[in-house]
Structure formats: C-alpha cells, structure tokens
Amino acid sequence: MRTPVYNRVALIGLGLIASSMFWAMKRGGLAGEVTGYAKSAESRETARRIGLCDRVCESAAEAVEGADLVVLCVPVGAMGAVAADIAPSLMPGATVTDVGSVKRHVIDAVTPHLPDGVHFVPAHPLAGTEHSGPESGFAELFDNRWSLLVPVEGSDPEAVAKLRALWEGMGANVDEMDADHHDLVLAVTSHAPHLIAYTMVGVADDLRRVTDSEVIKYSAAGFRDFTRIAASDPTMWRDVFLTNKDATLEILGRFTEELFALQRAIRTGDGEQLHDYFTRTRAIRRGIIEAGQDTAAPNFGRGGGKE
C-alpha cells in the first residue's frame, strides 16, 4: 500500500463525483480516512449502506474537523453557502478544493469565507456521466481523463502539488488553467453543447405528440447521445448556466449566427457552402483522433444511480 497523499479527506456532497473520488482514493490508497456529508438524510443513509466513506457525518462542520483536504462536491450554486458553513471548523493549514463545472463563480463565492492559513485550490475533473447520487460513482471515472487545477492568486505551490498528486493517483491527467479561460473553454466544449442537447430533446418531445412516439423509437445514435446528455441532473445544470452566464451567452450567440448561416444555405440551396462547412468540421474530428485525444468515450454511460 502506498503512503496516503492526505491523512483525512472530507467529501461534502455525496453524489457522482464524490463517490467516484472515494472509490478511486480507496483503489490507490491515497487517503488515510475519508469522511463525508450530504445534505439529504436519504443520501447519508445510502452512503452508509454501501460503505461510501469511512465515516458519514451528520453535519458538514463535523465532517471537515481534522481534515487536511476538504472537497466541495455540491452543485456550483451551493458552494458559497457550504464554505460559510464549514469555515469555523476548518483545520489551520488544510486545503479546500472543489470539483465544480464553473470556476470564476466558485472562486468568488468561496474565497471570502475561508480563514487565513487555509489553502484554496479549485479544480474540475473533465469526466462525468448523466447519472447522479451516491450510488452512481465508480473508481475508474477519472482514468485517463483531464482534471484541471485552477489555482487562485497566492495559492501555495505545495498545496497545489499535493492536490495534483491526488488527481494523478486517481488516474487523471492534470493541467493548470486560469479561471476565466477555463469558463470560456468549458462553455464551448460542455456547457453550450448541454444546452443544445436539452433543447433538441425538448423539440423532439414536442414533436412526439405529433408523430406518436416514432421520434424516440427510431432515433439514431446522434439523437440518443442527446437524450443521454439531456438526462443530466437539472439542479447541477441550472447552476452551471446561471453562474457561467457571460461565457455561455457569448458562445450561444456565435452558435446561433452559424446556425442561421446554415439555415440560409439550406433555404437557398447553397450546397457548396454546406459541403465546405461539413468538410471543415470533419477535419476537426479527424484531428482529435490523430492527436490521440479521443479520451471522451470510454466512461460515458457508466454508473447506475438515479437520473
């Protein structure tokens, strides 16, 4: 068994990401003891039943006592309130991190609550599924996926290095990124695509009333992927859009401009424009595969849990 990276890790919010972190830390022997807390009594009960966490606590404050790493695994909109709740109980010298899908908002919401002498190193694993809750996690979720560290001004390099070691121990590749750049990149690669999937499934659902369920029954792979993504947790995604508003609106603005251009090409029968556009986008996918960066697929659709 390897030497643990942290003596005691506290997981606040026991859903997909926290449970996957727990199983990955156990697999790698990365933490001495892992405590946990979730707001809902049902989630705490489930966690105890399935052995998720060495100790499930009745309050967040109790869970973080004596922890040298505290991981905030709650929806982005709840991060500030949780930080305020745990602040008086944090151990001096502890590191607080989070796994939120948006970074600038979390930094602004959490930082004011943290006492001096506590390190804050925000993070974001680029791995997940459409499932949520304590039973949805699995140890392999982060294997060969990116986890981005987003150190804040004055982040202690030693605290950053330790968190990097934890993520690498859980199987992830680690990179560092500035918060605003992170939020723009994720708006392009994750947030806007999720909104488009939600919309497309909504449109199909409206249509279904007309076509008597044929839309779902005969849906091909592309649309099925949309339905998987659109089954993601509503609270989590509401918070993502409300807290990454500017970057998401910027990308959606560009998206609608392109969509209108393609719509016009279809209306006017401009086959050359359509062909050129699709040729350009095909080259992007081929570039990703040739660069060996197609690491997205293997974990998708894994995990059980509620949807």
Ligand X SMILES: O=C(O)C(=O)Cc1ccc(O)cc1
The footprint of ligand NAI (CB under 6 A) covers 12-18, 38-40, 43, 73-76, 78, 81-82, 99-101, 125, 128-129, 132-133, 233, 236
120 vs 142, beta carbon nearer ligand X:
142
Helices assigned H by DSSP within 187-293 = 192-211, 214-217, 221-229, 234-243, 245-268, 271-290
Confirm or reject binding of residue 128 to ligand X (CB under 6 A): yes
Confirm or reject binding of residue 13 to ligand X (CB under 6 A): no
Cα angle for residues 247, 250, 256 (degrees, 5° grid): 135
The token duo for 203 is 């449109």
Is 105 within 8 Å of 244 (Cβ atoms)? yes
Interface residue with ligand X among 130, 183, 233, 239 (CB under 6 A) is 130
Considering only 20-28, 114-122, 124-132, 287-295, which stretch makes contact with ligand X by CB under 6 A? 124-132
Confirm or reject binding of residue 303 to ligand X (CB under 6 A): no
Place of tokens 């005691």: 8
Is 86 within 8 Å of 70 (Cβ atoms)? yes
Interactions with ligand X, residue window 88-117 (CB under 6 A): 101
CA distance 219 to 130: 19
Confirm or reject binding of residue 129 to ligand X (CB under 6 A): yes
The token duo for 154 is 């004055």
45 vs 178, beta carbon nearer ligand X:
178
- Number of residues in contact with ligand X under rule CB under 6 A: 9
Interface residue with ligand X among 79, 126, 148, 174 (CB under 6 A) is 126
Tell me which of ligand NAI, ligand X, none is bound by residue 300, counting a contact when its beta carbon lies within the kind-specific cut-off of 5 to 8 angstroms: ligand X
Half-sphere CA count of 290, side-chain side, radius 13 A = 6
Is 303 within 8 Å of 130 (Cβ atoms)? no
| H or E segment to which residue 81 belongs | helix 79-86
Backbone angles phi, psi at 32, to 5 degrees: -65, -60
Tell me which of ligand NAI, ligand X, none is bound by residue 75, counting a contact when its beta carbon lies within the kind-specific cut-off of 5 to 8 angstroms: ligand NAI
Closest CB 76 distance from ligand NAI, rounded Å: 5
90 vs 229, beta carbon nearer ligand X:
229
Closest CB 295 distance from ligand X, rounded Å: 12
Confirm or reject binding of residue 47 to ligand X (CB under 6 A): no
190 vs 273, beta carbon nearer ligand X:
190
Confirm or reject binding of residue 183 to ligand X (CB under 6 A): no
Tell me which of ligand X, ligand NAI, none is bound by residue 183, counting a contact when its beta carbon lies within the kind-specific cut-off of 5 to 8 angstroms: none
Could you list the beta-strand ranges (E) of the chain: 6-12, 31-37, 55-56, 69-72, 95-98, 119-120, 123-125, 146-149, 173-176
Confirm or reject binding of residue 229 to ligand X (CB under 6 A): yes
Confirm or reject binding of residue 190 to ligand X (CB under 6 A): yes
Tell me which of ligand NAI, ligand X, none is bound by residue 166, counting a contact when its beta carbon lies within the kind-specific cut-off of 5 to 8 angstroms: none
Backbone angles phi, psi at 74, to 5 degrees: -105, 170
Confirm or reject binding of residue 300 to ligand X (CB under 6 A): yes
CA distance 73 to 68: 16
- Directed axis angle between helix 245-268 and helix 179-186, to 10°? 30
CA distance 152 to 149: 10
129 vs 136, beta carbon nearer ligand X:
129
208 vs 228, beta carbon nearer ligand NAI:
228
Binding site for ligand X (CB under 6 A): 101, 126-130, 190, 229, 300
